[in-house]
């Protein structure tokens, strides 16, 4: 499926300018280098600029990119870029935290390691207050687990 098909009619005109954050979106993917699974959680935020997206569409976008041969770094960027293209928001922030079986089962065999990737666009990249607010939300969410 394409991002357009996943979103469908889920974009709405709304006068909203505060950060929207969907947290702890679980995902499962398959490493294209080792053909072993990696899995974890993604936190996705955006700042609307006249358009919002149905909240359930965000996990669907995550699944669209996760359910293919993938690397975490690219997946994180694809999720952010898909929201940027669909909504033209003031900014998008995506953080993915994943466990890779290629690191757990083979090679270094580190059972408790995880990989953290981020993609920050627009205000999340250029405005330190916005970036810090988003990253503090993500950090505080992880502390609650």
Token representation of residue 23? 């947290």
> Given the structure tokens 């889920």, which residue do they identify?
10
> Given the structure tokens 């690219």, which residue do they identify?
74
Give, in degrees to the nearest 5, the angle at Cα 19 between 17 and 24: 155
Give CA separation, 81 vs 108, 110, 127, in Å. 32, 31, 18
Q: Any idea which residues carry the catalytic annotation?
A: 31-34, 72, 100, 102
Phi and psi of 51, rounded to 5°? Answer: -135, 140
């Amino acid at each position: 499926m394409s991002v357009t098909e996943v979103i469908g009619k889920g974009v709405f005109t709304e006068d909203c300018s505060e950060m929207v954050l969907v947290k702890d979106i679980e995902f499962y993917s398959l490493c294209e280098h080792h053909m072993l699974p990696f899995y974890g959680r993604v936190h996705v935020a955006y700042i609307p600029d006249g358009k919002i997206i149905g909240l359930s569409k965000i996990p669907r976008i995550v699944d669209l990119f996760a359910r293919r041969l993938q690397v975490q770094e690219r997946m994180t960027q694809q999720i952010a870029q898909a929201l940027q293209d669909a909504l033209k928001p003031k900014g998008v922030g995506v953080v993915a935290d994943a466990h890779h079986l290629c690191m757990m089962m083979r090679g270094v065999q580190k059972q408790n390691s995880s990989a953290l990737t981020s993609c920050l666009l627009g205000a999340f990249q250029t405005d330190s207050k916005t970036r810090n607010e988003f990253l503090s939300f993500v950090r505080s969410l992880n502390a609650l687990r």
